[in-house]
Structure 1
Amino acid sequence: MIERHKKIVIQVKRYKSNVGIKAIQEVFSAQHYYNADKSYVVTNSHFTKSAIILASKLNVELIDKKKLNDIEKRYLK
């Protein structure tokens, strides 16, 4: 069986403060505009509580500072 390629949308935010729901709304809209299979928001900071709740409801994957550090430790060292 041939598996089709997956299309993803990624939005990266370099913030000093927490990332809010606007980023979630933007990436979710882009996911549907480009007919992508999955969407991610990546930040060097953290997410607000409302952003986390909205992302959960919209099935948007969040990658914050802690997850980035875990990825770095696992794959880049």
Structure 2
Amino acid sequence: SQRMLHLTIADTGSGFEPDKLAKAFKEQFTTKENGHGFGLVVCNRIVENHGGSIDVDSAPGKGTRITISLPLHQEALQPA
């Protein structure tokens, strides 16, 4: 089994409505007036290109928790 690094970022902001959360990783979807809708799309592609994943847990009025999981490669575990 491969060892993984899990990085969790959480806030207590307004959270996502379920329908908006379902669209969060689609290109050009944004909740911001001047947004372009590429931020989460680009982040997800970078993480997936490195063999990882992004998990989002959010509820309206309760905030959002994003967990980025990336595989740890053996050479990264060796002392320098």
Q: Report TM bin, short chain.
A: under 0.3
What TM-score does the superposition give when structure 1 sets the normalisation length?
A: 0.28
Going by fraction, where is helix more abundant, 1 or 2?
1
Structure (1 or 2) with the larger CA radius of gyration: 2
